[in-house]
A and B are shown apart, each in its own frame.
Chain A
Amino acid sequence: MPPDRLSTTFAALADPTRRAILARLVAGEASVTELGEPFDMSLPAISKHLKVLERAGLIRRGRQAQWRPCALEARPLKDAAEWLEHYRLFWEQSLDRLEVHLRELQSKRKQRGRKH
């Protein structure tokens, strides 16, 4: 996934309302009105959040003129989760190597200390 795409995904996920909307969509399609019910927010405000999610490719919207149901689009979320997992592995393995490096460093120092 291109890095700018990842930034778009994370930027979209950075908002609690948008995360709540996505969580609701896990249960299945929903209309804008349904999605707005749990929030103390105007429909235009909800629509704005939906546009951000749509642009980030996290949801898709139906084409029916009146009732345009929103549905979850899984791929970007999966990519974001994988990206995080890669980072975790990267750090864990780096820290393994750091441990080895520190051990070597200290045993060298001890050896030098004995010579003096």
Chain B
Amino acid sequence: MAANTDATSTSKELVISRVLDAPRRLVFKAWTEPEQVARWWGPRGFVTTLCEMDIRPGGAYRVGMRSPQGTHHVRRGVYREIVEPERVVFTYAWEDAEGRPGHETLVTVTFAEEGTKTKLTLHQAVFETITARDEHQAGWASCLERFAEYLARS
């Protein structure tokens, strides 16, 4: 399996990349066609219960899933950019029990051709929707990690 993870350790935000053994247009479709998204989005053992996706800039989506323990989770957001077959950008928030969206993040997924394969890079920005981009250039994730280490020691 061609997997490569670059999580929060050094980067400012959550970044995950992976090389997928499939052509780019296929990977792009797997991210933008509801019937395909319903098959893979969510951790192991989760079942998609609802998948509404209005794939266009400004279009909303709402996807529900049931965990193996039977709890129901709904995520929702708005597509900001749809650039076939290169990039998808959308906001992302989990709903609480009353259907209110929680902390909103911005997810950017890029698809780059690598021969017959596709390198997918997922970037999740945690502050984007709250404050200006420039304000959080100084490694807040590593800052969080340092605190986590500190907490582990104390």
> Does A97 sit within 8 A of B, measured CB to CB?
yes
B side interface size, CB within 8 A: 52
**B94 x A93 contact (CB < 8 A):** no
Which of A7, A83, A84, A90 has most B Cβ within 10 Å? A84
8 A Cβ contacts from A63-116 to B: 74, 77-78, 80-81, 83-85, 87-103, 105-106
Given A13-B140, A87-B124, A102-B22 contact (CB < 8 Å): yes
Q: Bound complex: CA of A15 vs CA of B136, how far in Å?
A: 6
- With an 8 A cutoff between CB atoms, is A44 at the interface? no
Chain A interface mostly: helix
- 12 A-B pairs within 8 Å (CB atoms) are namely A6-B102, A10-B127, A26-B150, A78-B147, A78-B151, A80-B144, A87-B105, A90-B42, A91-B14, A95-B120, A99-B1, A99-B21
Which B residues form the contact surface with A (CB < 8 A)? 1, 3, 5, 7-8, 14, 16, 18, 20-22, 26-27, 30, 36, 39-44, 93-94, 96, 100-105, 120, 122, 124, 126-127, 130-131, 135-138, 140-141, 143-148, 150-151, 154
